[in-house]
Structure 1
Amino acid sequence: MTIQIVILAAGMGSRLGRSLPKPLTRLADGRSIMQQQHDNVRATFGDAARITTVVGYRAETVVEAFPDVDYVYNDRYDQTNTSKSLLRALKASRRGGVLWMNGDVVFDPMVLGRAIAHIERDESFVTVNTAKVSDEEVKYTTDDRGFIRELSKTVVGGIGEAVGINYISAGDKRAFIRHLSRVDDQDYFERGLELAIAEDGVRLRPLDISDLYAVEVDFAEDLERANLFV
């Protein structure tokens, strides 16, 4: 079975203060963030993985570094957010579910191993960390059945943080695409998920990886923290 994987790497990543796209940032072990992601994907799924990367800012540098994957270009990368980059990738995807991740997440390879069972059952999920809840991160709440109810940076009373590695099932993908199409250009993809939950009854399972490391590298201190693990 082919596993469709999307890496969102179109943004400028200006907060980190580097000239190259953030996914090309070097880690302490010599790999780039994106190389660490590729290694984790291949270690888990092997040749079954089909990677598509959404590029925008300095796209040629990413393509040169990883010439053997598929690409989708967001020519409005400086005017749009992750909702529109992911929309382009999902529209270009084949039948079946899609696993996607932000291009700046450094994570334990065991995260994908934990996700395999859900992918095989084609269950939509969002990986979460319940160990901390920071104001500036995407937070979530759940309904009485344990599925995600709210998912955004403005959630009040969040019980954990979204990590940035997610899966949309084949059955849920059409609704998700529809909502990504209607959200604002500056919305994160989480807004599309919230609308799919509220209006289409999409069920998103929170996949707890609190015991594993996953660091979204936005600032220099995040990079320092990620380098403690690799």
Structure 2
Amino acid sequence: MTVQIVILAAGMGSRLGRSLPKPLTALADGRSIMQQQHDNIHAAFGAQARITTVVGYRAETIVDAFPRVDYVYNDRYDQTNTSKSLLRALAKTGRGGVLWMNGDVVFDPLVLRRAARLVADDRSFVTVDTAKVSDEEVKYTVDAEGFIHELSKVVVGGIGEAVGINYIASRDKKTLQRHLQRVGDQDYFERGLELAIAEDGLRVEPLDISDLYAVEVDFAEDLERANLFV
């Protein structure tokens, strides 16, 4: 089975204070953030995994670094958020389910190996960490059956954080695309998921990876923390 993977890498990443796109930031082991993502993808799904990367800011630098993957260009990268980048990518990935991740996440290779079972079963999920709940991060709650109920930065009483690695099943893809079209340009993709859950009964499982590491690199201190693991 060919697994379709999307990496969202269109943003400017200005909070980290680097001139290159954030996914090209070097880690302590010499790899870039994006290279460790590619390595983790291939370790979990093999060389046949199909990667589509959404680029925008200084797109040519990412294309030059990774010439053998597919690309989608978000020409409004400076005016839109991850909801619109994901929408563009989903339109280019056919009918199958899609695993996607933010282009600034440094994570344990075991995360995708744990996710592989749900991907193989074509079950929508959001990867979560229940070890901490920070105000600035995307938080979540679950319903009585254990599926994702709320998913945003403004969730009250969140039981964990979304890590930024997710999967939409083939049967749920059109529903998510419809809601991503509806949301505002500055919304994160989580808003599309939250609307699909609330209005269409989309069932999204939380995949707990609290025992593994996953660091979304927004600031210099995040990079320092990520470098403790690689």
| TM-score between both structures, scaled by the size of structure 2 | 1.00
3-state SS of 2:113 partner: helix
3-state SS of 1:207 partner: strand
Displacement of 1:149 after TM fit? 0.3
Q: Give the 5 Å matches for 1:47-196.
A: 47-196=47-196
AA at the equivalent of 2:148: I
Displacement of 1:94 after TM fit? 1.5
3-state SS of 1:48 partner: coil
Displacement of 1:95 after TM fit? 1.6
Distance 1:79 1:2 in 2: 33
Show the counterpart of 1:15: 15
- Which segments of 5 or more consecutive residues in structure 1 lack a partner in the other structure? none
Per-residue displacement from partner, 1:112-154 (whole Å, max 9, x unpaired)? 0000110111000000000000000000000000000000000
Show the counterpart of 2:30: 30
3-state SS of 2:46 partner: helix
Displacement of 1:47 after TM fit? 2.1
Distance 2:202 2:52 in 1: 24
Show the counterpart of 2:201: 201
Displacement of 1:24 after TM fit? 0.1
Distance 2:47 2:31 in 1: 21
Distance 1:95 1:177 in 2: 12
Distance 2:94 2:172 in 1: 14
AA at the equivalent of 2:222: D
AA at the equivalent of 1:129: D
- Which segments of 5 or more consecutive residues in structure 2 lack a partner in the other structure? none
Distance 1:45 1:20 in 2: 28
AA at the equivalent of 1:113: R
AA at the equivalent of 2:65: A
Per-residue displacement from partner, 1:65-119 (whole Å, max 9, x unpaired)? 0000000000000000000000000011112100000000000000000001101
Distance 1:122 1:46 in 2: 18
Q: Which runs of 4+ in 1 moved over 2 A?
A: none
Per-residue displacement from partner, 1:176-210 (whole Å, max 9, x unpaired)? 00000010000000000001101111000000000
Q: CA RMSD in A?
A: 0.4
User: Number of residues paired by the alignment?
Assistant: 230
Distance 1:219 1:113 in 2: 27
Distance 1:80 1:115 in 2: 29
